[in-house]
Copies of this chain bind each other. A is one copy, B any other.
Amino acid sequence: MKIVTLGEIMLRLTPSGYDRFVQTASFEAHYGGAEANVAAALANWGEDALFVSKVPDHEIGQAAVDALRAVGVDTRGVLRGGERLGIYYAERGADRRASKVIYDRANSAFALSRAEEYDWDKIFAGADWFHITGITPALGKNAEEVALSACKAAKARGVTVSCDVNYRSKLWDKEHAAKTLEKLLGYADVCIVNENQAQELFGAPEEGTAAYMAEKFGFACIALTYRRTIDALHNKIWSELFMDGQSVQSPVYSMEMIDRIGGGDAFAAGLIYALGHKYGLQKAAGFAEAVSCLKHSIPGDVCLCSLEEARSLAENEGNAKVSR
C-alpha cells in the first residue's frame, strides 16, 4: 500500500524532564506534525509512505527530513524553500499541572507554500491512500488552498482520502474552521473526529454522532475518538468505528502516559493500516486503539511501536513482562 500524507512538520522543543519552560537549561528536540507522524508510523511498519510538505533550505529543515527518513518515510515529496520551520514548545505536565504547548508556527515554509508548487501527478502516482488533517487548512489561506487542492487531486485520481478533523482552537475560530472543514470533509472517504468536535463544529447530536456525520458527509467509514483527562499523566481513551451502518467500540485504555503528543496521529495510522489491510471492523477498532495506546508510552511525536507489539496488545495478549 502506498500512502501519501501532506502537512506541516515542526521542531518540537521540550524542556528536559519535568522542568517548566522558565527553568530548563536545554530543550529536547523532536520533529513532528500530525500528517508527518502518520506517515512515520506507517513507514515504520514497512508501508510505502510519502510525505508531502515544504521546509526551509537549511539545516533545521534538513533535520526534520532526516528524522522522517530515519524511520523509512519517502521524503521526496518535501519541497525546499521559504523562511522558517515551524516550532512548538511543549512542556510536560505532571499530576494537576497540565502539559503546555506554545505554538510558534506562523509563516512557516509550509504555511506559506502555494498549491501550484505541488506536482499532484507525481505525488499521487501509484498512491492508494491520502491522509490529511484539519490542522493544515488552519495554517492560513495558502495552506487551505494546498489542502483542498490536494484532496481534489487525490479524489480525481481515485485515491482513498482520510481526514482527521483535529480542530485546534488556538489556530482559528470555530466558524471559519467549520466552514473550511466541511469543504475538506467533502472529499473524505474516511473521517476521524473527536466526539466533542463533531458536535461543536458540525452540529452532530450526542447520540448517533457517528451516523449523523457519516450521512452528512457520505463517509465510508468514520471513527469517533474519546479522551478523558484524569490528570496530566493519566488519560482514558477509546473510540467508536462506524461503517456500513454498523458500529463497534474499541476497548477503553486507562493509561499512564510518557508522551501524550501524537496519540491521535497514531490512531489514524493504525486505522489506515487496518482498513488498507482489510481488517474487519472490530479488529480495525482494536488495532487502531492499541496503536494509539502504545504511542502514549513512547517519547517523541511518532509511534515507534512494531506491528507485533500493536497486534499483541490488540489481541489482548499484550502484557508488559520483560521478555528475556
Contact = CB atoms under 8 A, between A and B. Distances in A.
Nearest to A100: B323
A65 B58 CA distance: 24
Contact of A60 (B21, B23, B232, B320): B21
Contacts of A304: 20, 22-23
Given A95-B258, A95-B297, A101-B324, 19 more contacts: A21-B63, A22-B62, A23-B299, A23-B300, A25-B29, A59-B89, A67-B70, A69-B69, A83-B104, A83-B106, A88-B324, A93-B297, A93-B320, A98-B309, A98-B319, A98-B322, A98-B323, A229-B321, A231-B256
How many copies the complex holds: the figure is: 6
A79 interface: no
A281 to B, nearest CB: 22
B21 A324 contact: no
Interface string A311-324: 00100001111111
A72 interface: yes
A66 B44 CA distance: 10
6 contacts: A21-B62, A93-B322, A95-B258, A99-B320, A231-B256, A233-B320
B258 A318 contact: no
B95 A256 contact: yes
A253 B96 contact: yes
A136 to B, nearest CB: 15
A59 B91 contact: yes
